[in-house]
Amino acid sequence: MTNGEPTIRDLLRKRYADPEWIILFEVRNAAGFHATRTADAIAVNLWPSRGLEIHGIEIKAWRSDWIKEMKTPAKADEMFRFCDRWFLVAENEGVAKIPEIPTSWGFIERKGNKLMIRKEAPQLTPKPVTKDLLVTFLKASMRGKIDADSVDQLLRDATNAGKETQARDDGHRMEGLERLKKNVEEFEHASGLRIEHGWNHGKIGEAVKYVLNGGAKAINDDIRDLLERAKRSVAEITRIVEETKR
């Protein structure tokens, strides 16, 4: 199948849709090691007003498979006898021809993304479903539930978990941005600088680093030393002037 194209099972699920029907795939005719036959699909009607019919389905994808089936028609009897109707469902055109379809069978053929009834299936007179067969229906139902419902639930859970993780990460990023914004505002207020005007080719950053590394103290020490030297110079000049007056 090409990308996005429904499978034959997808189309059968659409034809035998919930809540009126339940469709089961790969249904064996008996439980355990006694099984001798597997139906490709069994569709069970769930509405008493519609007769609670059971439809048996044989799926064929290739004409060679159908020709082989026609040579051994008794193979279908193990499941056929419990069904109200029985269908051949061809996945492609040319798999079967209408004159080849047994009178007790219906014929459905895939046409693109649709299933077309080529021959209606007659009403049969089925035997009552045995306890053994009922068990196989239940097994197939549980297998189908695991294959479909559970996978869908896992996908939903994974999607929700991904959304929660994304929301949490977005929240952390927003908190980080708010902290950064606050820090920038405090720096601008204290320094009188506007970060949005740029860093003056890195000189502001260098100055901040210099101050943080003790540069301000070194400047103060240098200034204090200059003042002391200036005081000494003034005192010396004053002494010389006084001596000159004598």
Domain boundaries, the chain: 8-132, 203-245
Which pLDDT belongs to residue 33? 67
DSSP the chain: --TTPPPHHHHHHHHT-TTTEEEEEEEESSSGGG---EEEEEEEE--GGGT--EEEEEEESSHHHHHHHHH-GGGGHHHHTT-SEEEEEESSTTS--GGGS-TT-EEEEEETTEEEEEEPPPP--PPPPPHHHHHHHHHHHHHHHIIIIIHHHHHHHHHHHHHHHHHHHHHHHHHHHHHHHHHHHHHHHHH---GGG--TTTHHHHHHHHHHTTHHHHHHHHHHHHHHHHHHHHHHHHHHHHHHH-
How confident is residue 21, by pLDDT bands cut at 50, 70 and 90?
very high
Better-scored residue on pLDDT, 177 or 126: 126
Q: What is the pLDDT of residues 199-231, one digit of tens each?
A: 555 566 666 666 667 666 666 676 677 677 766
Cβ proximity of 101 and 107 under 8 Å:
yes
Cβ proximity of 54 and 82 under 8 Å:
yes
With a cut of 60, say whether residue 149 has pLDDT above it: no
Bridge partners of 43, per DSSP, are 23, 55
pTM listed for this prediction: 0.56
Better-scored residue on pLDDT, 214 or 146: 214
With a cut of 80, say whether residue 195 has pLDDT above it: no
Compute the mean pLDDT over every residue in the chain, rounded to the nearest whole number: 80
Distance CA(174)–CA(171), nearest Å, equals 5
